[in-house]
Amino acid sequence: MLLMGQPIHLPVRERLIALRSEGHTVESIAREVGLSFWTVRNLLRRHKKKGDLGYAPDYTSCGAGGRLRGDYFFFRASCWLKRLHGLWGAPFIRMKLAQRYGEAGLPSSRQMQRWFRHSGLNEPRQRKSEPREGGAQAVHDCWQVDAKERLTLAGGQQCSYLSVVDEHSGASLGAVFFPLSPDKPN
């Protein structure tokens, strides 16, 4: 007896039809080929309804609802964006799709990651990192400190921002927001 979800190969399907044409009952065919009664009955009904095309595998009816989990449009759009921008991750691609099409029907980032893995798009790409002349040769050789002053937040408050990044790896080592001092002139 096959476990649920395992494929039934074409020679087995053809054998079902041959046995049925010889006058065997569904029960005897199921016993002989080692399939459930319901599987044999469904395959024979498909053959009766569709002819020779009826015993070929029908992948449109696989899985939940016979479709990819999530909308096929979003599957194609997210894979296209991943091919176009290989360094973009699933959360960023999801955000881009939500900006353009809204949240309705949009799959989760995790589902997109599954699609990418299934499509062979999740292979990590190596960044070209040729050391610059005079640049850091190892992690923590040199840090880049960047300050941005007088940024206006959505609430109208002004603040400054300080970030520290390792020059060799590009890793963010820290970032601090702080308000402007009220006693300093603008």
Q: Is the pLDDT of residue 89 over 60?
A: yes
pTM metric for this prediction: 0.35
In this structure, are 88 and 113 located in the same domain? yes
Is position 111 within any domain? yes
Is position 168 within any domain? yes
- pLDDT score at 174: 85
Is position 128 within any domain? no
In this structure, are 14 and 52 located in the same domain? yes
In this structure, are 84 and 114 located in the same domain? yes
In this structure, are 150 and 114 located in the same domain? no
Is position 186 within any domain? no
- CA dist., res. 171 & res. 168, Å (int): 8
In this structure, are 39 and 78 located in the same domain? no
Instruction: Give the model confidence (pLDDT) of 56-75 as tens digits.
Output: 776 665 555 444 445 788 88
Q: In the 8-state DSSP scheme, what is residue 34?
A: T
Distances in Å between the alpha carbon of 92 and those of 103, 115, 129, 150? Answer: 14, 15, 23, 28
Q: Is the pLDDT of residue 116 over 60?
A: yes
Q: φ, ψ for residue 99 (rounded to 5)?
A: -65, -40
Is position 66 within any domain? no
What is the total count of domains within the chain?
3
Distances in Å between the alpha carbon of 83 and those of 18, 102, 121? Answer: 47, 22, 7
Is position 2 within any domain? no
In this structure, are 77 and 110 located in the same domain? yes
Query: CB of 31 within 8 A of CB of 61?
Result: no
Q: What letters, b where the CB count within 10 A reaches 16 and e where it falls short, cover 2-28?
A: eeeeeebeeebbeebbebbeeebebee
- pLDDT score at 95: 92
Helix (H, G, I), strand (E, B), or coil: what is residue 130? Answer: coil
Instruction: Domain of residue 169: give its range.
Output: 143-179
- pLDDT score at 2: 45
In this structure, are 109 and 78 located in the same domain? yes
In this structure, are 51 and 76 located in the same domain? no
Is position 129 within any domain? no
Is position 63 within any domain? no
Confidence of residue 12 (pLDDT cuts 50, 70, 90): confident
Ranked by mean pLDDT, the top range of 1-10, 23-32, 105-114, 168-177 is 23-32
Choose among 49, 26, 48: nearest CA to 37.
Answer: 26
